[in-house]
Structure 1
Amino acid sequence: MNSSFGIRHILQFILFVALQILLMDNLVLFSTGFCFIYIAFLLFLPIDMNRVWLLFLGFLTGFTVDMFYDTMGIHAAASVLLAFLRPHVLNLLTPRDGYDASDSVNIHVMGWRWFLAYCFTLTLFHHAAVFFLETINFQTALYTLGKILASTLFTTIVMIILQLLFFSPKRERIDYR
């Protein structure tokens, strides 16, 4: 693992979790649309990330958010589910020529359609896990589905804005192994 890789991703972890705890906790659209920006850390990791590390980072990210939100493991479970599903979604979305070893999840490199399919799918699974674990009640299933859809759209739009503003349009030439 490259030291610049480690430092950059540690800073991203701190930034996304801090944004979630300090800013996004208070930013809710019409009492239904929540933005869980901390999952961007997991979504923007390198494509060829080791699955064990990915699951560990998913747990660590979700557990950190759980400590501040006092949600007893809901975010940890949903983040581990996201980390588990990520390689499968990447396999489904593999381009015809495959991924380059240097590819990262970047809207400029992979394209709009690929990024939207990737981001929306994994965000939808994550948010469904969060909200159904939170309520554990199917009597309010329609309201929960509305929260899932509104929150997924809100989070995906925020991640697109982050990608357009802060991620380089050039391919990165870093060896991630």
Structure 2
Amino acid sequence: MSGLRFILVQALRFIIYGGVHVLLISRLVLFDLGWCFFYLGFLLFLPIATPIVVQLLVSFCMGLAMDIFYDTGGLHAAAAVLLGFARPWVLRLLTPRDGYDSADTVNVHQMGWQWFSVYLTLLVTLHHAAFFLLELGSFRNIGITMGKILVSALFTSLALLIVQLLFFPVRRGRQ
């Protein structure tokens, strides 16, 4: 029953992150330069022990869902799958000295500010670079595209940090 409960919780998280993005967050634009890709929170905050095949599948499904809503022809799916592919590498790069516990999650309260900010910055910037460079299709307007990547990465990272601070549980010291 625990496995079924886990799958239901993840499916609910998928719907919440995707729904909030489509219904609310997608309408927020900073200076016609920065967009918040709120749905990335679902992919970034998956449990650390999630197998890579599952990460790739849910990344594709989330990206495809966004592509269907925004008629972007696979841009979201491609960038989300790249994020799902790179996530285990970044987690391995940031592995604490004692390793991860099987129950560890991506949580700013549990993993610390430094770990979380490096994790979030690397993966969000990678996703945004892939998305906006694929959208551009050439290097003609690379300056504006770099501005979009930077502003959108900051906007998305700030939104996801706020979600972490408001909705993820604070765990007092491990004893």
Shared fold (TM-score, shorter chain, > 0.5)? yes
- TM-score normalised by the chain length of structure 2: 0.95
Rounded Cα–Cα distance in structure 2 between residues aligned with 1:25 and 1:133: 19
2:107 aligned residue? 106
Rounded Cα–Cα distance in structure 2 between residues aligned with 1:24 and 1:130: 17
User: One-letter code of the match for 1:6?
Assistant: I
User: One-letter code of the match for 1:139?
Assistant: R
- Residue 72 of structure 1 pairs with residue 44 of structure 2: no
- Residue 29 of structure 1 pairs with residue 30 of structure 2: yes
2:161 aligned residue? 160
Rounded Cα–Cα distance in structure 2 between residues aligned with 1:8 and 1:168: 16
1:174 aligned residue? none
Rounded Cα–Cα distance in structure 2 between residues aligned with 1:68 and 1:138: 27
Q: How does 1:43-82 map to 2 (within 5 A)?
A: 43-82=44-83
User: Could you report, residue by residue, the CA deviation over 1:53-102 in whole angstroms, capped at 9, with x for unpaired residues?
Assistant: 11000000000000000000000000000000000000000001110111
User: One-letter code of the match for 1:164?
Assistant: L
Rounded Cα–Cα distance in structure 1 between residues aligned with 2:80 and 2:122: 14
Q: CA deviation at 1:8?
A: 1.5
* Alignment RMSD: 1.1
Unaligned 5+ residue runs, structure 2?
none
2:134 aligned residue? 133
User: One-letter code of the match for 2:109?
Assistant: H
User: One-letter code of the match for 2:15?
Assistant: I
User: One-letter code of the match for 1:72?
Assistant: G
User: One-letter code of the match for 1:109?
Assistant: Q
Rounded Cα–Cα distance in structure 1 between residues aligned with 2:85 and 2:46: 13
User: One-letter code of the match for 2:147?
Assistant: G
Count of aligned residue pairs for this structure pair: 171
- SS of the residue corresponding to residue 24 of structure 2 reads helix
Q: Could you tell me the percent identity over the aligned residues?
A: 51
Segment of structure 1 superposing worse, 131-140 or 2-11? 2-11
- SS of the residue corresponding to residue 103 of structure 1 reads coil
User: One-letter code of the match for 2:124?
Assistant: T
Rounded Cα–Cα distance in structure 1 between residues aligned with 2:6 and 2:157: 25
Segment of structure 1 superposing worse, 17-26 or 78-87? 17-26
1:146 aligned residue? 147
Q: CA deviation at 1:36?
A: 0.1
Rounded Cα–Cα distance in structure 2 between residues aligned with 1:129 and 1:78: 5
Instruction: Report which structure shows greater RCO (CA 8 Å, sep ≥6).
Output: 1
User: Could you report, residue by residue, the CA deviation over 1:11-63 in whole angstroms, capped at 9, with x for unpaired residues?
Assistant: 11001101111112210000011000101100000101111111000000000
1:124 aligned residue? 125
- SS of the residue corresponding to residue 20 of structure 1 reads helix
1:42 aligned residue? 43
